[in-house]
Amino acid sequence: MSTAPREIVIQSTRGFRFVDWRELYAYRDLLSLLVWRDFATRYKQTILGPLWHIFQPLLTTIIFTVVFSQIAELPTDGLPPTLFYLCGLLAWNYFAQTFNSTSSTLIANAGLFGKVYFPRLIVPLSSVISNVVSFLIQLVSFFVILFIYHASHPLSTALPRWSALVLLPLVLAQLAAFSLGIGLWLAALTTKFRDFTVLSGFLIQLWMYLTPIIMPLAKVPPHWHVFVALNPVTMPVECFRYLLLGTGWINVPLLLASIATTLVTLVSGVMIFQRVEKTFIDTV
């Protein structure tokens, strides 16, 4: 049995490439540590801790119900306003949280990247996975509220499509892929143009009002559908409502356009991120 030490060679790559899966797998332990770090430190030294994952969407839902349903009287596609907004926020919060954490990857971790080598893509991937934990906590709270609502309104038709609920992970995977792709684009651009640090916060606020969170997609006029197709988050939100509440407007062409845009954004985002990571440490 040979006891000679193994030699690890670290060398630069040329041109654009996608993902070195073997290298990512070799650093899987680091990935799990970063996932735990992201989740554990998010609410460190807070009183409520992970309960903020439940209270934040609930408080937002209450405000939306009062402002948009009671005062503005916007339609909710025949669904109870509380369930309508809470279900939309379930999908949106995962996208927004993942986008915010991945878009600041290079700037926020510049000190770590400058000290030791590891695949830089592991850091944004850890954000994607740690936010799944937050999503699952919010999903459980959604089902609890849905159960309470049906206990008091037994004739309500707002019920999950149990036979199709197995598709929910696929919808979540699309949200994860798109938020990762667009976040990597912003991370790469931020290394040279710090304006994007401010722009990303403003962009995510504006983006929410361009997504059917407060109004169902079915109420959008047909001549606006081409603009709806440009927003890849729209159809996942409608799919969430369709799967979890039984009501949603699933347009196949818009869904295919959303998936295609997601794939293009993810592939191009990973490629530009891996191109920028080679030299960004010299500019930040």
Phi-psi region of 20 (alpha: psi -120 to 50; beta: other; left: phi over 0): beta
Average pLDDT of every residue of the chain: 83
pLDDT value for 220: 79
Contact call for residues 150 and 113 (beta carbons, < 8 A): no
Structure tokens at 213: 């969170």
pLDDT of residue 265 exceeding 90: yes
Classify residue 191 by burial, with Cβ atoms within 10 Å: 0-12, 13-18, 19+: buried
pLDDT value for 268: 92
- Tens digits of per-residue pLDDT, 65-124? 999 988 888 888 888 999 999 999 999 999 999 998 888 887 777 777 777 777 888 989
CA distance 246 to 143: 14
Closest CA to 134 of 78, 165, 90, 68: 90
pLDDT of residue 22 exceeding 90: no
pLDDT of residue 44 exceeding 80: no
Grade residue 167 by pLDDT with cuts at 50, 70 and 90: very high
45-to-40, 49, 57, 59, 138 alpha-carbon distances in Å: 10, 8, 21, 21, 21
Closest CA to 126 of 138, 108, 111, 114: 108
pLDDT of residue 8 exceeding 90: no
Residue 65, amino acid: T
Phi-psi region of 77 (alpha: psi -120 to 50; beta: other; left: phi over 0): left
Extents of the domains making up the chain:
21-282
pLDDT value for 225: 72
pLDDT value for 72: 85
The number of beta carbons lying within 10 Å of the beta carbon of residue 110 is: 15
CA distance 126 to 118: 13
Grade residue 54 by pLDDT with cuts at 50, 70 and 90: confident
pLDDT of residue 60 exceeding 70: yes
Closest CA to 121 of 183, 174, 63, 59: 183
Contact call for residues 247 and 241 (beta carbons, < 8 A): yes
Structure tokens at 276: 């920028």
Structure tokens at 45: 């030294």
